[in-house]
Amino acid sequence: MNASTSQLHASTRTFTQHLSSTRRGARLARLLAVEQLRTWPVLPGIADRAEGIIAELASNAALHGRVPGRDFRLGLTLQEATGTLRIEVTDTRGEKLPALQSAPPPDRESGRGLLLVVAFADRWGTEPHEPVGKTIWAELDSRAD
């Protein structure tokens, strides 16, 4: 007996960009990502959450992960079959891992970035980047939006 099965070919979309480890580079990361997400089949709620995550992770890479003369990398991956968007920001300061802390006092202007990432992402984490550095990643599920 010969049975045939119809298979859908799910695609994976990727975007990667190296940016200078500066405030300008962090801003450009957010702007480029927003434009890229507009061309992909991403729900508006996912794109909005992704923009907030990218802004925070890119800002942290430029501020805390900066090594003079070294760039940071922004990566986006969309698994269309599952609707999962993965955001990765890689910098060269592998020894400086993010630490989730309680919310700072209301009068303090900084210290909420990672709390926002946790609030916006369905999952997040860190992993070493060889030969040097770390990658902070966050995933968003369109099924959960």
Nearest-5° Cα angle at 112, 128 to 16:
40
Q: What is the pLDDT of residue 144?
A: 55
Task: Mean pLDDT check: name the lowest of 5-9, 35-39, 99-103, 105-109.
Answer: 5-9
Per-residue pLDDT band for 119 (boundaries 50, 70, 90) equals very high
Q: What is the pLDDT of residue 143?
A: 67
Q: What is the pLDDT of residue 6?
A: 42
What is the Cα–Cα distance from 21 to 62, expressed in whole angstroms?
Answer: 4
What is the Cα–Cα distance from 141 to 79, expressed in whole angstroms?
Answer: 10
What is the Cα–Cα distance from 86 to 121, expressed in whole angstroms?
Answer: 10
Task: Mean pLDDT check: name the lowest of 72-76, 107-111, 139-143.
Answer: 107-111
Reported pTM = 0.84
